[in-house]
Structure 1
Amino acid sequence: MRREVTLEEISDGKLYNVNDMVKADCQDCKGCSECCKGMGESVVLDPYDVCRLSRGLGKSQEELLNGILELGVVDGNILPHLAMKGSEEKCIFLNEEGRCSVHAIRPGFCRLFPLGRYYTEEGFYYILQIHECAKKNRSKIKVKKWLDTPDLKNYEKFVWDWHQFLLDVQEVFYQTEDTELIRNLNMYVLSRFYRTPYEQNRDFYEQFRERLEDAEKLLSLGV
């Protein structure tokens, strides 16, 4: 999402890489689940998130998109996000004890929090958001340990490539008033990257890159 804010408004003003120490450790969030409530449509999921949830829950990606997750619009892109339910608008995966029922396969957004990403023209850094987490007296932890993500190098490349691709798609939206073209492109992205299953016996990132190459060729042809 494009936001016209300064780094100082949303963070401690520092840029971190994966080997830096950052004051993000919430001590297992004991007694607190505030960040799992009232998030609206902000917990947007990328293709890896949906694939990981699909494999971990034993449900098809189609099942997730048609019954558990919700779709919303982010800068013109129609993308899935975590559903918030009930009077407290709790995450659909928050259990009765106020704990995450999918913690081992939680989305990247959840792994980051209270960190965020700060994108530049060359790549991205991590930032510590200062207005988001209700937990006080957080302790320092290395960024890569906090992210708790296997094959972090490939994951970061995937995050960057996906971010750049969505920006390219948005440029198409901004340059046209053809509603049918916008709809078809959104449906293509959903179908190609989210609804079509990824083979379990093949590396996710390899399959993603194949799909990305096809999608980029399509964009280069003017859709």
Structure 2
Amino acid sequence: MKREVDFNEISDGKLYGLNDMVKADCGDCKGCYACCQGMGQSVILDPLDCFRLTKNLSCTIETLLADKLELNVVDGIVLPNLRMSGEEERCGFLNGEGRCSIHRFRPGICRLFPLGRVYEEQGFQYFLQTQECRMETRTKVKVRKWIDTPDIRQYEKFVLDWHFFLKYLEQQLDQNKDPAFANKVSMYVLKNFYLVPYNYEEDFYSQFEKRLENKRLEASTFL
């Protein structure tokens, strides 16, 4: 999701790598769940997020879309996001005690918060969003530990590949303003990267890379 903001106004002005220490650790939230409510459509899910959710909850993406997730347009492309509901606009995965019921396999944006990413041509770096988390007593933690994701280098490659693939599709949408074309692109993304099931017995990244390579070749003619 594109953000038109002044970097220095929303961060501490620094960029971080995986092995840097950053003041992001909120001490297990201590009863606070402010970042799990009122987030609107901002917790966008990538294919890995949906793979983890459907695998660990033993359900289909269609089942989740009927309750816990919803579809919205993000920079011209329809993508899934966590649904906020009720008077407090709470995440559907938040339990009665204000704790995340899917914490072990929570989405990437949830793992990252309150960090964000700044993308460059060859990669990305992390930054601390200073106005997002309400906890005032945060302590320093290594970025790698905070994100808490296995095979972190492979994960970062996936994040970058997915980011630039979506950017490529957005460029095509900028060149073709026909609503029918936009709908075709969205259905193309949803079907090939979300709705067609992945094999839970196989590595996600290898399956994703195969789909991405095939779709890049296909996109060159389809788009």
The separation in 1 between residues aligned to 2:215 and 2:178, in whole angstroms, is: 19
Q: Which residue of 1 aligns with 2:110?
A: 110
Aligned-partner residue type, residue 54 of structure 2: S
Note if contact 2:68-2:93 (Cα within 8 Å) is conserved in structure 1: no
The separation in 1 between residues aligned to 2:205 and 2:65, in whole angstroms, is: 21
Aligned-partner residue type, residue 198 of structure 1: Y
1:179 maps onto 2:176 in alignment:
no
The separation in 2 between residues aligned to 1:44 and 1:21, in whole angstroms, is: 26
Aligned-partner residue type, residue 179 of structure 1: P
Q: Which residue of 2 aligns with 1:220?
A: 220
Give runs of aligned pairs for residues 104-143 of structure 1, distance below 5 A: 104-143=104-143
1:19 maps onto 2:19 in alignment:
yes
Q: CA deviation at 1:31?
A: 1.5
Aligned-partner residue type, residue 96 of structure 1: G
SS in structure 2 opposite 1:88? coil
Q: RMSD between aligned alpha carbons?
A: 1.0
Q: CA deviation at 1:59?
A: 0.6
Note if contact 2:93-2:102 (Cα within 8 Å) is conserved in structure 1: yes
Choose 65-74 or 39-48, whichever is displaced more: 65-74
Give runs of aligned pairs for residues 21-60 of structure 1, distance below 5 A: 21-60=21-60
The number of residues matched between the two structures is: 223
Note if contact 1:52-1:105 (Cα within 8 Å) is conserved in structure 2: yes
Note if contact 2:44-2:79 (Cα within 8 Å) is conserved in structure 1: yes
Choose 209-218 or 187-196, whichever is displaced more: 209-218
Runs of 5+ unmatched residues, structure 2: none
Q: CA deviation at 1:219?
A: 2.4
1:79 maps onto 2:76 in alignment:
no
Q: CA deviation at 1:202?
A: 1.1
The separation in 1 between residues aligned to 2:143 and 2:104, in whole angstroms, is: 18
SS in structure 2 opposite 1:70? strand
Aligned-partner residue type, residue 103 of structure 1: H
Q: CA deviation at 1:222?
A: 5.0
Q: Which residue of 2 aligns with 1:4?
A: 4
Aligned-partner residue type, residue 93 of structure 1: F
Q: Which residue of 2 aligns with 1:101?
A: 101
Q: CA deviation at 1:114?
A: 0.5
With normalisation by structure 2, the TM-score equals 0.97
Note if contact 1:12-1:128 (Cα within 8 Å) is conserved in structure 2: yes
The separation in 1 between residues aligned to 2:118 and 2:85, in whole angstroms, is: 29
The separation in 2 between residues aligned to 1:67 and 1:140, in whole angstroms, is: 36
The separation in 1 between residues aligned to 2:177 and 2:109, in whole angstroms, is: 32
Aligned-partner residue type, residue 30 of structure 1: K
Runs of 5+ unmatched residues, structure 1: none
SS in structure 2 opposite 1:27? coil
Aligned-partner residue type, residue 173 of structure 2: F
With normalisation by structure 1, the TM-score equals 0.97
The separation in 1 between residues aligned to 2:132 and 2:188, in whole angstroms, is: 34
Note if contact 1:54-1:60 (Cα within 8 Å) is conserved in structure 2: yes
The separation in 1 between residues aligned to 2:41 and 2:206, in whole angstroms, is: 29
The separation in 2 between residues aligned to 1:104 and 1:163, in whole angstroms, is: 24
Taking a change above 3 Å as real, the CA distance of residues 9 and 222 of structure 1, as seen in their structure-2 partners, is farther
TM-superposition CA deviations, 1:161-192 (whole Å, max 9, x none): 00000000101111112222211111010010
Q: CA deviation at 1:193?
A: 0.3
TM-superposition CA deviations, 1:104-136 (whole Å, max 9, x none): 010000000001111111110010001100111
Aligned-pair identity in percent equals 56
